[in-house]
Amino acid sequence: MRRLLHIEQVKLLNYNPFRITLGIYFLAFSLGLFIYPAIDKEIPVISLSDLFRFPDVWLFLTWITEPYNILLALIIIMITTKEFNNHTFKTQIIFGLSRTELLLQKLLLVVVLSLFATLLLGITSLTLGLIYSYKLTFKIAMENTWILGRYLVSSFAYMSMGLLVALLIKNTALSLLTFLAMRVFVDPVLFLILREQEVRWYLPMRTTTQLTPVPNLIEIFERKINSAESIDESALDILPEGLPAWLNIMLVLLYTSLAIWFSHLLMQRRRFT
C-alpha cells in the first residue's frame, strides 16, 4: 500500500494542474478566515459573526464549504483521464501492477484527499471559533464536531463519483463537463421535476449534499435573543428536511460502494491503449 501511494505521489508532484487546483482549494479555505467575518452584516436578531462561534461554527462552515468538494472530484477526474491520455496505466501494467492495484492507487488518493479536506475544515472552524466565541469551554467547543465525519464521507463520495465518470468517459474535458453538469444542472432539474415526489431525496447528488445540510438557524436565533417564547418554526420553514439522517448516510454509502464497484468493473475491462 505504501508503494502504491509513493507511485501516486511521484506522478502527482509532476502534474501542474493537480498542484494548481489543490492550491486553489487550500486558498479558498484560507481566505475564509478573513472573508467570511469581513462580510458580517447586522441582520434582524442575529449577525453573521454569531455563526462563527462555538458550537455553531462547525455546522455553518461544513455547510458553506460543501461545494469545495467539487474541486476535489475535478482533481480526481483530471488525474485519472491524464493516465489514459499518457498511457500511464498501460506502462504501470507492463511494470507489474495489476488492474486492481491501479484502482487501489486512486482510492488511496481519494482517502488522503478526503482526510486532508476534513482536517482543513476542522482547523478553519476551530480557528474561527476560538477567535469569535465569547463563552468558551471544552464541551461547547467540541459540540457538533460529529459533522466532520459527514464531511469526510461527502468528500469521499464526490471523488468516488468523479473517478467513475473519468473511467467511463476517459476524455478529460468531457469528463469534467459531465460531472459538473450532473452536480450543477441535472440534479437540480430532476429535483424540481420530482418536487412533489419523495423519490427526489434519493438522487445520488442530492443525498450527498444533504450530508451537510443548512444549519438550524432558528435554534441559533432563539439562543441569540434568549427568549422564553420560541419562534414559530412553521413561518420560517423555507427548506424541507429531506430524509432521516441515518437513511441519508446509508444511501450515500450505497451509492459510493456502487461507484467503486463499477469503477472496478471498468478498470478490469478497459483497454489501456
The domain segmentation of the chain, as residue ranges, is 2-269
Q: Which residues contact 62 (CB under 8 A, 6 or more apart)?
A: 121, 125, 147, 148, 150, 151, 212
pLDDT digits 0-9 by tens, 75-109:
999 999 998 888 888 888 888 889 999 999 999 99
Residue 236 pLDDT greater than 90, yes or no: no
pLDDT of residue 109: 93
pLDDT of residue 46: 57
Residue 171 pLDDT greater than 90, yes or no: yes
Residue 235: band (very low, low, confident or very high) from pLDDT cuts 50, 70, 90: very low
Q: How high does pLDDT run on average in the chain?
A: 85
Average pLDDT over residues 151-164: 96
Please state, in angstroms and rounded to a whole number, the distance separating the CA atoms of residues 222 and 205: 32
Please state, in angstroms and rounded to a whole number, the distance separating the CA atoms of residues 44 and 112: 42
Three-state DSSP state, 221: helix
Residue 141 pLDDT greater than 80, yes or no: yes
pLDDT of residue 224: 60
Three-state DSSP state, 171: coil
Q: Which residues contact 76 (CB under 8 A, 6 or more apart)?
A: 106, 109, 110, 113, 159, 162, 163, 166
Please state, in angstroms and rounded to a whole number, the distance separating the CA atoms of residues 69 and 91: 30
Three-state DSSP state, 91: helix
pLDDT of residue 89: 87
Lowest pLDDT segment from 47-51, 86-90, 238-242, 261-265 = 238-242
pLDDT digits 0-9 by tens, 173-208:
999 999 999 999 999 999 999 988 889 999 999 999
Closest C-alpha among 12, 24, 19 to residue 70: 24
pLDDT digits 0-9 by tens, 50-80:
788 898 899 999 998 999 999 999 999 999 9
Residue 234: band (very low, low, confident or very high) from pLDDT cuts 50, 70, 90: very low
Residue 150: band (very low, low, confident or very high) from pLDDT cuts 50, 70, 90: very high
Closest C-alpha among 58, 214, 220, 217 to residue 128: 58
pLDDT of residue 229: 44
